[in-house]
Structure 1
Amino acid sequence: MKKHFTLWSFVLLISVFMLAACGNEESGEESNSEDGNQGTSANEEESIKIVAAHNQTSPENPYQDGLLEFKEVAESKSNGSIEVEVHAGTLGTSESELVESLQLGGADVVLVSPGFMSSTGIREIDLFALPYLFESYEHWEEAVDGEVGDEIANIILEESDNKFKLMGYWSAGVRHYYGKEPIQSIDDLQGMTIRTQTSGVVADFWQQVGAVPTDVAWGELYQALQQNVVDSAENAYPYFVQENHHQTDNGKYTSETAHDFTTRFLLINNEKFESYSEEQQNIVLEAAAASVEAERQALYDQEEESKQTLLDDGAEVNEIDTAPFIDIAVPLQDEVAEEIGVAHLLEQIREQR
């Protein structure tokens, strides 16, 4: 009797365990069908859309190459959870419009120059607008990809109250004078109107060499040169040749002043960036790094090609002694760098030559 009771007790105990196990399994299935699915949704990356813009209208522009690389890398690395919409001049051909779009949320990623960014009150970035600051692309890359570039990036983030995050430095080439007649010396610039920035260090430089800075929107410059609204302009070969400025009456002579190895800021709205998941942030930064490499290479490749196109079209190019221009630029560099608190960075750049 005792043995029989023990056997039945054992059977009963096994039954209880089996029922409990079944109950737990069903409970687990319910969890998977409800809480479990919610967990999966939480772990899935929420899709985001990034509006990226530059001010150039030509589809062959290095800016476009750079942003298309940004788009490709971001979308492929995220398996489509990140969508990038690229705007080539459609959100504004003026960089001031792009800065405003970035501030107001109309664009998430933009490309702008130091001169237009300084309008936000971040004066330190005028360092990169100083004429004759760099003497080669190698010199420029060493500065922007090193400690100088890192410090400027931190300044932009801090002084914009964490609104703007710099993700990389692009180049817009080396800028030269082009106009209705070649210049052989500074004397040839006296009283000549030139389309350039009309405020800040860039304007100060052109005024000091005797020219008259004049404001013309990029999209209107061809007509302004053709109709004698301005006597001249200044830019890098890939940009003004693509716009056929060299075919206008006031754009057929290029004098290689090489006054600016240009810097452009690839900026993202930091509030948007901070709202992304950590994985998405890493992908965006990886895409930005890829865009830097792609844009620079496209620019370097196009410089000689564009110059040859200009010559083939019958426009003319002459070299010029830049020493008198540099003699004017150096004191201006010292003055501005001291005023905006980046004299130590200016000295660092000079030491890297």
Structure 2
Amino acid sequence: MKIKMKNKIICIAFLLMFIPLTLTGCLSTEERRGEAKEKDVYELSIAIDSQEDTVTGIFMNKFADLLEEKSKGRMKINRFPNSQLGGDGEITEAVQNGNIAFVVQTTAPQVSFVPEAAIFDAPMAFKNLDVARKVLDGELTEKLKEYYANKKLILLGYADQDFRVMSSNKKVEKMSDLKGIKIRTMENPNHIAFWKLVGANPTPMAWSEVYIGLQQGSIDAQENPIETIVASKVYEQQDDIILTNHILHTLCLIGSPSIINELPEELQKIIYEAADEAKVYARKMTDERNESRVKIIEDSGTKIIPFNEKLFNDMRAASEPVWKSLEEQIGKDLVNTLRSEIDKAEKELNIN
């Protein structure tokens, strides 16, 4: 496995040799800065593991478009969607090593590089997207930026692909209905622990096997954002989509300090401005796309079971041990910051 990963990283590095960081050639940092002129064009690369017709792809393209527009062509962005430069882990490592300038991805694969990113494994954290997005734009993200910086990564901002929700062939209206449900989950110990605590039977399974597993009845349920549920057509094999809102599906834009910090200051400023604008646009597109995808599900005959506050609160209470476990994994300070930021957001939005 290590040899395979090493070979892929070598291939990425080899490919990127033909995508020069700047047109100023292989000069030292000081020489590059000294010779930077208005006419210089900087070629930067951004990669994603996902297809372009996803919110991840939309986030990537909006950010890249803004960089080119705002810099008046001084930044040219080479885009690599659909795992062209490797999977999520390989792309993150390439960003960390300065071979790729940017990546957009969910936080799950970043935990291997920045353990504190596991804070987003905290279940039943946000009652709605308004609360979640306020938290993502607040103190929690400022603290996380320091952890990313310590690992040679620049955290540029968070968008989201709405919440992970549950689909099931068994009716779920209350906590007792979750008992024994065989639900496909990712191979994430925090996610698995959560589903066990609420009474379900979590079953890690390759995503490629989920549709057939539901069809054949080897699993009763699965959990994912609405967009993924529609894209993979798993709703065809499910009676209900339950809006449990159990985990926020974050989308994170990160950059390489060894590349960004060598750019002229005015271009660095543009990168941060473009990141802020692109995340807002990506969130808007998440909302718009969800409306159309909910209609696809409803038109198919699969029912959408609306958010149930009592079920949410019961699942939140049952999953408290996962929060305690996260305190042990990443420290109480970060978990306490998340709790306080949620309380603050709920008060500002008048949510009891």
The 2-side partners of 1:271 and 1:243 are apart by 37
From 304, 310, 323, the equivalent of 2:297 is 310
CA distance in 1, matches of 2:92, 2:247: 22
Establish whether residue 141 from structure 1 lines up as the match of residue 141 from structure 2: no
Tell me whether 1:337 sits opposite 2:327 in the alignment: yes
Q: Does 1:293 align with 2:285?
A: no
In the TM superposition, what whole-angstrom CA distance separates every residue of 1:98-155 from its partner, at most 9, and x where no partner exists? 43443455643112333322122x3322222201111222211221111221111122
Whether 1:351 aligns to 2:338 is no
Determine what percentage of the aligned residue pairs are the same residue.
23
Distance 2:165 2:36 in 1: 54
Counterpart check, 1:76 vs 2:76:
no
Question: Residues 98 and 223 of structure 1: is their aligned pair in 2 closer, same or farther, counting only changes over 3 Å?
Answer: farther
Match of residue 116, structure 2, among 121, 124, 127: 124
* Code of the aligned partner of 1:348: S
Q: Would you say the 8 A contact 1:93–1:217 is kept in 2?
A: no
Q: Where does residue 60 of structure 2 map in the other structure?
A: 67
C-alpha deviation, 1:294, in angstroms: 0.9
Match status 1:50 vs 2:37: no
Contact 1:197–1:213, Cα closer than 8 Å, also in 2:
no
Aligned to 2:165: 176
Moved more, 208-217 or 149-158: 208-217
Looking at structure 2, the residues matched to 256 and 191 of structure 1 have their Cα atoms a distance apart, in angstroms, of: 19
Check conservation: 2:157, 2:279, Cα contact below 8 A.
yes
| Letter in structure 2 aligned against 1:288 | A
- Cα separation, partners in 2 of 1:113 and 1:52, compared to 1, 3 Å: same
Larger radius of gyration: 1
Q: Deviations over 1:3-46 (max 9, x none)?
A: xxxxxxxxxxxxxxxxxxxxxxxxxxxxxxxxxxxx99642354
Whole-Å separation in 1 of the counterparts to 2:259 and 2:218: 41
The equivalent of 2:184 in structure 1 is 195
Q: How many residues align structurally? A: 308
- Which SS does the other structure have where 1:166 is aligned? strand
Aligned to 2:147: 155
Counterpart in the other structure of 1:278:
265
The answer to whether the Cα contact below 8 Å between 1:129 and 1:262 also exists between their aligned partners in 2 is no
Could you tell me how far 1:168 is from its partner in structure 2?
A: 0.7
Provide the secondary structure at the position in 2 that maps to 1:312: helix
Tell me how far apart the structure 2 counterparts of residues 191 and 91 of structure 1 sit (CA, whole Å): 40
Match of 2:14 in 1: none
Q: Quote the offset at 1:306 in angstroms.
A: 1.3
User: Is 2:128–2:245's contact at 8 Å kept on the other side of the alignment?
Assistant: no
Letter in 1 for 2:162: G
Offset of residue 218 of structure 1: 4.8
Answer whether contact 1:91 1:97 (CA < 8 A) is retained: no
Q: Give the C-alpha shift of residue 214 in structure 1.
A: 4.0
Q: Give the unaligned 5+ runs of structure 1.
A: 1-38
Distance 1:264 1:131, change over 3 A: same
Match of 2:102? Answer: 109
Kindly indicate whether the alpha-carbon contact (under 8 Å) linking 1:70 and 1:287 is maintained by their aligned counterparts in 2: yes
Question: Residues 178 and 134 of structure 1: is their aligned pair in 2 closer, same or farther, counting only changes over 3 Å?
Answer: same
What is the SS of the residue equivalent to 1:203? helix
Residue of 224, 247, 272 corresponding to 1:235: 224
Q: Counterpart of 1:263 in structure 2: which amino acid?
A: T
Alpha carbons 1:74, 1:82 under 8 Å: kept = yes
For 1:107 and 1:231, the matched residues in 2 are separated by 41
One-letter identity of the residue aligned with 1:135: K
CA distance in 1, matches of 2:225, 2:164: 4
Change (3 A) 1:182 1:103: farther
CA deviations on 1:232-255 (whole Å, 9 max, x unpaired) are: 3212212321332212x2x44212
User: How many Å apart are 1:195 and its aligned residue?
Assistant: 3.1
Partner Cα distance (1:82, 1:53) in 2: 16
TM-score, with structure 2 as normaliser: 0.77
Q: Which amino acid in the other structure matches residue 268 of structure 1?
A: G
State the alpha-carbon separation in 2 of the partners of residues 218 and 93 from structure 1: 18
Q: Which moved more, 1:135-144 or 1:175-184?
A: 175-184
1:326 and 2:316 aligned: yes
Letter in 2 for 1:235: N
